[in-house]
Amino acid sequence: MDKLVEKFKAFYHAAPTAGGEAPGRLEILGNHTDYNQGFVLSCAVGNTTAFVLRPVDGQVCRVKDFRDGSEKSFDLDAIDRATPRDWSNYIKGVIVELRKRGIEIPAFEAGMESTVPLSAGMSSSAALETAAGFAFAGGFGVKLDQADWARVGQGVENNYMGLKTGLLDQFSSIFGRRDSMILSDFRTVEVLRTVPLPAGFSIVVVNSMVKHNLVDSEYNVRRLDCESAAAKLAQIFPDVKTLRDVSLEQLAQAEPALERREFRRALHVVGECTRVQEAVRILENGDAAGFGRLWFESHESSRVNFENSTPELDYLVELAKSLPGCLGARLSGGGFGGITIHLVESALAGEYAGRIAAGYKIRTGIEPECIICAIGDGARTFNF
Ligand code: GLA
């Protein structure tokens, strides 16, 4: 944050008055369960996005991205719609979502910086939405509950960007706790508890560097599949509102009433909710190996049932099974490319990252990005 403030001063010849800093996140277990009102184990990471600003007169806002030197400006009277391939959409979208809640953000000059890998599955967009929102909270006295800030960010994705995501990304970026995973319930929208990683283990993130170009439409179609499966299940079991309410036994019983595709999508989501609960239970007994097995099971279910994996992600998970020190690996986040996460003995993590990168490069010709991930705190507001 201090460095960003210095860069801001050098660039704008004035000091910022407020800022926000928000981390990326990792989905540890609980894939595509959030919009089914299910359970997720997630964490905030040490990689963050920082955003600082000062108010200015008029209607035009300027934002400088010190990561790559690019700059955007926009008129507050002309931001009703997103513009194609424009990172400032995530800032304009926040202003538009706040407007819907009766809150006007005046003009500002801003600077930002980030260490969250872009478009990889670590929620760089949620980090930017949250950092900007928290800077608005500090600079313009906007008061919202923490969970409502997460809803603002989700609103940007759903309404401004057209991606029908759940609350996981912004929620984890806001509620993350240093050195712990958080167990969240997306029906009540609350953190139920923190859960420590097994002692002596680290998370290694391996970015496949490959992403399908139809990610957004694939994501939205998966969500529709889940909703149509839930609607059919509700006809058989009246207490069912979302897939969160369905047990594996009920799903097996209702299989003939569902299309094959709906059944497999539902099996993934119900299985993921079950695995999250199971993980919390077995971690209480210190069973790191059992926790890792759930990661492999989760990935297999993504590959077979939810079909949100890719050959590159599958290969990284296969490699993980053959390397020493790794107890489990899976794709993390929306899928269709991006990252895998690996549960690795901390003492071997550096060596593991080198080996998996080498193996992946030999097979695909691609140099993956590997991060031995620190688990960080959630978002903060700064007043200068
Ligand atoms: C993306 C979405 C989240 C969540 C995950 C899958 O990250 O933004 O809301 O659905 O995919 O668990």
- Within this chain, do residues 170 and 317 fall inside the same structural domain, yes or no? no
Confirm or reject: Cβ of 330 under 6 Å from ligand 1: no
The burial of 329, by beta-carbon neighbours within 10 Å (0-12 exposed, 13-18 middle, 19 or more buried), is given as: buried
Q: Can you give the pLDDT at residue 55?
A: 98
**Distance of alpha carbon 163 from alpha carbon 220, whole angstroms:** 7
The verdict on the CB of residue 165 being under 6 Å from ligand 1 is yes
Residue 3 C-alpha to ligand 1 middle, in angstroms?
A: 31
Question: Residue 242: what are its φ and ψ, rounded to 5°?
Answer: -140, 175
Which pLDDT value is given to residue 78? 97
Which stretches of the chain score pLDDT less than 70?
Answer: none
Q: Rounded to the nearest whole angstrom, what is the distance from the C-alpha of residue 167 to the centroid of ligand 1?
A: 8
Model pLDDT, residue 266? 98
For ligand 1, is residue 334 a contact (CB within 6 Å)? yes
Question: Looking at residue 214, what is its pLDDT?
Answer: 73
Among residues 255, 272, 162, 169, which one has the least CA distance to residue 217? 162
In terms of residue numbers, what domain contains 331? 201-373
Q: What is the CATH number of the domain that holds 135?
A: 3.30.230.10
From the CA of 163, give the closest atom in ligand 1: 8
Note whether 225 and 212 are same-domain residues: yes
- What spacing in Å lies between the alpha carbon of 166 and ligand 1's midpoint? 6
pLDDT score at 119: 80
| Residues sharing a CB contact under 8 Å with residue 57, sequence separation 6 or more, in sequence order | 107
**pLDDT confidence of residue 34:** 98
Beta-carbon-side half-sphere exposure of residue 105 (alpha carbons within 13 Å): 33
Question: Which residues lie below 8 Å from residue 244, measured CB to CB, with a gap of 6+?
Answer: 33, 36, 37, 38, 39, 186, 187, 273
> What local confidence, expressed as pLDDT, does residue 237 receive?
98
Instruction: Return the pLDDT at 202.
Output: 98
Instruction: Tell me if 169 CB under 6 Å of ligand 1.
Output: yes
Ligand 1 close to Cβ of residue 166 (< 6 A): yes
Q: Residues 138, 250: one domain?
A: no
Predicted pLDDT of residue 215:
81
Q: Is 377 a catalytic residue?
A: no
Q: Do 205 and 159 belong together in one domain?
A: no
Residue 332: give its domain's CATH number.
Answer: 3.30.70.890
